[in-house]
C-alpha cells in the first residue's frame, strides 16, 4: 500500500482506497453523488415493502412451511424472524448453519429466540474439515471472489454466504417452502435483494462455472453444498423460489433492533468482534481483507447507513478505522490452517 494517507468521503466515510471511487472538490464521493440522483430512499423502501408483501401473500399456505429463514442467531436475522412470525404470521422453519465458529451466546440465542417465537428450528453443521478447507482456500487461492463481492464482504464471509444461500435453497425445496428469508441490511447486498424471484433451473445453468470452480477449489465435498440435484429441483414444479430480505424495506437504527430482540431473551455475544453478533471468525475475515485490499469490508454497509441517516458519521468512522489485530486471531488462523505468509 502507498504511504498516501487514506481520506474519507465528507458525507458517508467511504475511503479513497475503495474500488472505483472518485471525489468532487468538496470531498463528496461518487457513490453519494449517484445516490443524490436516485428516488428518495423512503419511497424506494415503501415500493420494495409493497412488492415483498405481495410475494408473502401469494406464497402463504402452499408447502410444509411458508418460509425457510436463514437464521444466524445474530441481531439482524433475529429481528427478521420476529417480523416474519409476528407481523406477517408466516409458518417459518429457522435454519442455523454452524460454521464451527458460532459463539456460545449466539447458539443459546438461537434456541431461546425460536422457543419464544414458537418456531421450528434446525441447527445444521457441515463437516468441520470441509469448512476449514473452504475457508483456507478462500484466502489462499486467488480470485475466488468476484470484484463486486470484494466491495461488500471478506473472502471468508463470501464463501460462507454462498454456501449458506445454497443450503437454504435446498432446505426450501426439501420442505416445499416457496419463500427464503435472510436478514441482510442496507449496504450488505444490492437493494433488489429485498425481493428476488429466483428461477432455479436457469440459476443452475448460470452458476455452473462458479460451481465447478468451487468443487475444484474446495474439493469434491463442495458438491454436497454447491450443487442442487435435478430430482430436488423438480420438487418445486414452478422451478422458482422467492428470496426476501425484510430489513431492506425498513429504516431502523441498531439501537431499535437491539431493544426489540432483547424482549425475546436475545443477549449480545461478547467474543465476536465489532461487526458480528454471532461469528468468531468474522474479525479474521476483516483483518485479511484490509491487508489484501486496503479497506474495511464493512465500509460499504456502514457508509450506506450514514448516507441514509441511520448511523452517525463519527460512529461509522470509528467502526471502519479499527482493524482487528491479527496477533489476537491465531487460534482462528490455526483452525483453518493458514499463516501470516498465506495472504
Segment interacting with Zn ion (CB under 5 A) among 12-20, 85-93, 95-103, 174-182: 12-20
Of the pair 14, 164, the CB lying nearest Zn ion is at 14
Query: Under rule CB under 5 A, which residues in 29-68 are in contact with Zn ion?
Result: 29, 32
Q: Contact between 12 and Zn ion (CB under 5 A)? A: yes
Segment interacting with Zn ion (CB under 5 A) among 3-11, 179-187, 226-234, 255-263: 3-11
Give the closest residue to 71 by CA, choosing from 60, 84, 62, 58.
Answer: 84
3-state helix, strand, coil in the chain (%, to 5): 50, 10, 35
Contact partners, residue 160, CB within 8 Å, separation at least 6: 99, 134, 135
Q: Contact between 320 and Zn ion (CB under 5 A)? A: no
Residue 291: all three cell numbers together: 491487508
Segment interacting with Zn ion (CB under 5 A) among 4-12, 41-49, 92-100, 196-204: 4-12
* Among 8, 9, 133, 286, contact with Zn ion (rule: CB under 5 A): 9
Of the pair 14, 163, the CB lying nearest Zn ion is at 14
Q: 327 with 268: CB under 8 angstroms?
A: no
Of the pair 9, 84, the CB lying nearest Zn ion is at 9
Query: Under rule CB under 5 A, which residues in 101-140 are in contact with Zn ion?
Result: none
Of the pair 90, 316, the CB lying nearest Zn ion is at 316
- To which residue does cell 455475544 refer? 269
Q: Contact between 179 and Zn ion (CB under 5 A)? A: no
Q: In whole angstroms, what is the distance from residue 145 CA to residue 211 CA?
A: 13
Q: How far is the CB of 286 from Zn ion (least distance, A)?
A: 21
Q: Which residues of 130-145 are buried (b: 16+ CB within 10 A; e: fewer)?
A: bbbbbbbbbbbeeebb
Q: Contacts with Zn ion: how many residues (CB under 5 A)? A: 6
- Enclosing H/E stretch for 76: helix 75-82
Of the pair 91, 313, the CB lying nearest Zn ion is at 313
Q: How far is the CB of 277 from Zn ion (least distance, A)?
A: 26
Q: How far is the CB of 28 from Zn ion (least distance, A)?
A: 6
Q: How far is the CB of 12 from Zn ion (least distance, A)?
A: 3
Q: In whole angstroms, what is the distance from residue 85 CA to residue 88 CA?
A: 6
Q: In whole angstroms, what is the distance from residue 28 CA to residue 208 CA?
A: 40
Q: How far is the CB of 142 from Zn ion (least distance, A)?
A: 30
Of the pair 90, 320, the CB lying nearest Zn ion is at 320
Q: How far is the CB of 253 from Zn ion (least distance, A)?
A: 19
Q: In whole angstroms, what is the distance from residue 301 CA to residue 152 CA?
A: 7
Give the burial class of 243: count Cβ atoms within 10 A of its Cβ; 0-12 exposed, 13-18 middle, 19 or more buried.
buried
- To which residue does cell 493458514 refer? 338
Segment interacting with Zn ion (CB under 5 A) among 11-19, 54-62, 91-99, 228-236: 11-19
Segment interacting with Zn ion (CB under 5 A) among 21-29, 203-211, 267-275, 311-319: 21-29
Report the Cα–Cα distance between both ends of the chain, in Å, rounded: 14
> Which residues contact Zn ion by CB under 5 A?
9, 11-12, 14, 29, 32
Amino acid at each position: 500500500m502507498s504511504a498516501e494517507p487514506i481520506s474519507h468521503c465528507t458525507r458517508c466515510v467511504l475511503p479513497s482506497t475503495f474500488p472505483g471511487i472518485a471525489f468532487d472538490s468538496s470531498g463528496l464521493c461518487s457513490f453519494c453523488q449517484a445516490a443524490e440522483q436516485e428516488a428518495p430512499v423512503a419511497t424506494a423502501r415503501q415500493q420494495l415493502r409493497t412488492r415483498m408483501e405481495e410475494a408473502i401473500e401469494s406464497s402463504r399456505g402452499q408447502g410444509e412451511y411458508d418460509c425457510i429463514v436463514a437464521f444466524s442467531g445474530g441481531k439482524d436475522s433475529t429481528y427478521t424472524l420476529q417480523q416474519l412470525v409476528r407481523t406477517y404470521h408466516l409458518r417459518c422453519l429457522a435454519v442455523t448453519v454452524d460454521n464451527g465458529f458460532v459463539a456460545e451466546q449466539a447458539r443459546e440465542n438461537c434456541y431461546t429466540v425460536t422457543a419464544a417465537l414458537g418456531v421450528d428450528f434446525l441447527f445444521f453443521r457441515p463437516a468441520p474439515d470441509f469448512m476449514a478447507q473452504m475457508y483456507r482456500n478462500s484466502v489462499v487461492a486467488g480470485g475466488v471472489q468476484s470484484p463486486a463481492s470484494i466491495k461488500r464482504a471478506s473472502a471468508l464471509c463470501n464463501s460462507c454466504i454462498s454456501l449458506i444461500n445454497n443450503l437454504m435453497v435446498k432446505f426450501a425445496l426439501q420442505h416445499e417452502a416457496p419463500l427464503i428469508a435472510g436478514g441482510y441490511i442496507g449496504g450488505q447486498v444490492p437493494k433488489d435483494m429485498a425481493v428476488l424471484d429466483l428461477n432455479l433451473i436457469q440459476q443452475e445453468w448460470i452458476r455452473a462455472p462458479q460451481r465447478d470452480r468451487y468443487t475444484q477449489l474446495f474439493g469434491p465435498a463442495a458438491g454436497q453444498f454447491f450443487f442442487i440435484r435435478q430430482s430436488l429441483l423438480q420438487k418445486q414444479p414452478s422451478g422458482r423460489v422467492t428470496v426476501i430480505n425484510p430489513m431492506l424495506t425498513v429504516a431502523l437504527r441498531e439501537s431499535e433492533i437491539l431493544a426489540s430482540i432483547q424482549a425475546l431473551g436475545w443477549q449480545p455475544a461478547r467474543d465476536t468482534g465489532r461487526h458480528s453478533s454471532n461469528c468468531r471468525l468474522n474479525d479474521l475475515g476483516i483483518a485479511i481483507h484490509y491487508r489484501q485490499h486496503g479497506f474495511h469490508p464493512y465500509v460499504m454497509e456502514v457508509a450506506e447507513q450514514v448516507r441514509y441517516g441511520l448511523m452517525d458519521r463519527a460512529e461509522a468512522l470509528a467502526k471502519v478505522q479499527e482493524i482487528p489485530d491479527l496477533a489476537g486471531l491465531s487460534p482462528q488462523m490455526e483452525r483453518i490452517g493458514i499463516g501470516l505468509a498465506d495472504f
